[in-house]
């Protein structure tokens, strides 16, 4: 009988040893985050993409029409993270969620600090919790948090999926 040999192994260090320029579209996005605002970009079909994309998904042409969107939105889907890993947005349990911000047509993936899975649901309203110090990075959004005070006149939670940010006059845009 032949003795089993130990498998060969070698250390592997994964790294991204390069620097990427953000370009005009993503630079506007992170500069807006630094200023505690969110900007997307309008595509040729009229959809507002958040986070912004550099090239139109329909035509492949560069995009350059910035659109400010709201800092509140709707959870499109979510998954509970019971045991967060080092380097994740929160050190305690949270939800990863796709959040469609008011005025946007696409969703942004980020953490929602809901406290427990029982407090999360698809369709719930959330708002950005800004980092204490903003620097022009996606981490300027510390996480999202539930909005508990949006109740319609009949006592049910409102569905604002298609709402737009308010204009200076206070009307929907």
What predicted TM-score, i.e. pTM, was given to this entire model?
0.75
Q: 39: which strand partners?
A: 68
Q: What is the pLDDT of residues 101-118, one digit of tens each?
A: 999 999 999 999 999 999
Q: What is the pLDDT of residues 59-80, one digit of tens each?
A: 999 999 999 999 999 999 999 9
Q: How far is CA 143 from the centre of its chain?
A: 9
Beta strand segments in the chain, E:
38-42, 48-49, 66-69, 72-81, 94-101, 108-112, 125-130, 141-146
Q: What is the pLDDT of residue 149?
A: 52
pLDDT at 43 over 80: yes
CA distances from 144 to 43, 68, 127, 154, 163 (A): 26, 18, 5, 26, 18
- Whole-number mean pLDDT of the chain? 87
Distant-in-sequence, close-in-space partners of 140: CB < 8 Å, separation ≥ 6? 30, 33, 34, 36, 130, 131, 134
């Amino acid at each position: 009988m032949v003795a089993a040999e130990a498998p060969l192994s070698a250390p592997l260090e994964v790294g991204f040893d390069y620097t990427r320029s953000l370009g005009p579209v993503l630079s506007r996005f992170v500069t807006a985050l630094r200023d505690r605002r969110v900007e997307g970009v309008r595509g040729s079909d009229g959809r507002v993409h958040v986070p912004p994309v550099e090239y139109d998904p329909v035509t492949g042409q560069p995009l350059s029409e910035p659109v400010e969107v709201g800092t509140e939105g709707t959870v499109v889907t979510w998954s509970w993270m019971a045991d967060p890993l080092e380097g994740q947005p929160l050190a305690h349990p949270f939800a990863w969620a796709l959040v469609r911000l008011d005025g946007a047509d696409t969703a942004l993936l980020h953490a929602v600090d809901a406290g427990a899975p029982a407090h999360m649901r698809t369709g719930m309203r959330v708002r950005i919790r800004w980092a204490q110090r903003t620097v022009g990075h996606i981490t300027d959004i510390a996480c999202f948090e539930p909005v508990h005070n949006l109740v319609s006149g009949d006592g049910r939670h409102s569905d604002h999926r298609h709402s737009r940010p308010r204009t200076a006059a206070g009307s929907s845009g």
